[in-house]
Amino acid sequence: MLIPKRYLRYLGVFLVLLLLLGMAYWLHQRHNARLAQPLRHFSAAQQPVNGSTPITTLQAIPTNPAQVALGKRLFFDPRLSHSNTMNCASCHDLTRGGVDGQRYSKRDDGSLTTVNTPTVFNAGLRSAQFWDGRAETLEDQAITFFVEHQEQGAPWAEVEPKLRADKDFNRDFSRVYADGITLKNVAHALAEFQRSLTTPNAPFDRYLRGDKNAISADAQKGYQTFTRYGCVGCHQGMNVGGNMFEQMGSVRDYFAEREQKTGEKITRADLGRFNATHHEDDRHVFKVCSLRNVAKTAPYFHDGSAKTLEDAVTTMVRYNLGIEMPPNDVRLIAEFLKTLSGDYAEHTP
């Protein structure tokens, strides 16, 4: 008995839809499984010292010197705040690792931020900005700064006339940008300055380039330990992180245990990337921080809850690997992390 062609077409469409639904379900389950599982471990055979390491040497980002110079002036300009007393460096202190060393930073109005201030160094190497990744580029981040105006309390409509009133600044800006002072140009200049804030030539960079004496024997063991536990699954590349997102507490419930220990309840800031995407899978997911200069940027995590490197390492392996790391392994990893602090060559206009 022959089946009419129109029924064969219907059957074909049905099978294709069934296949697509099956693939969508598989991808969804795979994503959930990734969040629920600890980071993968690397075998000793996957621990090359040079040439193909998960971590690569840091390179400076090409920038426009004139735009960098303008961005630097803006970075230190208090007119970007409502009170004319606060600038970007108030929270991102370039003499202190690009942070202020506080759990939460003080805003222009005296209130505190809801997340810990991340370092501004090597920000140009991140794949997204803010803990929740709501800004894709440094330009987007700067524009968000003026749109949300939470930290310094001054929207662009307030900042623009203050900058235009400065004849010298207006003149200099017009020399670099054809259309002069605009929100887009100010954001670009700030972004260009941040891209210049790289910190190459860390001891570990020199070690990767072949100088075996650049770091101590304990730091070398620390790197092997860091790799063996699978930490390089998230902290890799030139910036040793900053290029992906992960759930805080993928194995153990970090926030429930934090509340039990400290009484701190979950806040909106603890929802992480969920605030930007409103996808349930992004609840408590945060941008993986870069470990460059991490020894200078305590306290750690979005909530600033870890006071020392050792605290941070212990917390990560407990909640994202589901294990209690031996104290000596924690110490060795901390010694390795200290070798990631590089040199910042200050830009001189």
For the annotated catalytic residues, the residue numbers are: 151
Question: Coil, helix or strand for 286?
Answer: strand
32-36, long-range: CB within 8 Å, 24+ apart, which pairs? 32/281, 35/246, 35/247, 35/250, 35/281, 35/285, 36/250, 36/251
Q: Token digits for 97?
A: 């690792």
Q: Measured on CA atoms in the order 216, 304, 285, 92, is the torsion positive or negative?
A: negative
DSSP tag of 246: E
Q: For residue 19, what are the CA distances in angstroms to 5, 7, 12, 14, 24?
A: 21, 18, 11, 9, 9
- Residues 127 and 57: their CA atoms lie apart, in Å, by 17
Backbone angles phi, psi at 309, to 5 degrees: -60, -40
Start-to-end C-alpha separation, the chain: 85
> Following DSSP, what letter does each residue of 22-47 receive, concatenated?
HHHHHHHHHHHHHHHSPPPP--GGG-
Question: Coil, helix or strand for 269?
Answer: helix
Rg (CA), the chain: 24
Cβ of 107: how many Cβ atoms within 10 Å? 19
Tokens 């040439």 belong to residue: 51
- Residues 201 and 209: their CA atoms lie apart, in Å, by 10
- Residues 17 and 21: their CA atoms lie apart, in Å, by 6
DSSP tag of 209: T
Q: For residue 317, what are the CA distances in angstroms to 18, 47, 70, 245, 329?
A: 40, 19, 42, 16, 11
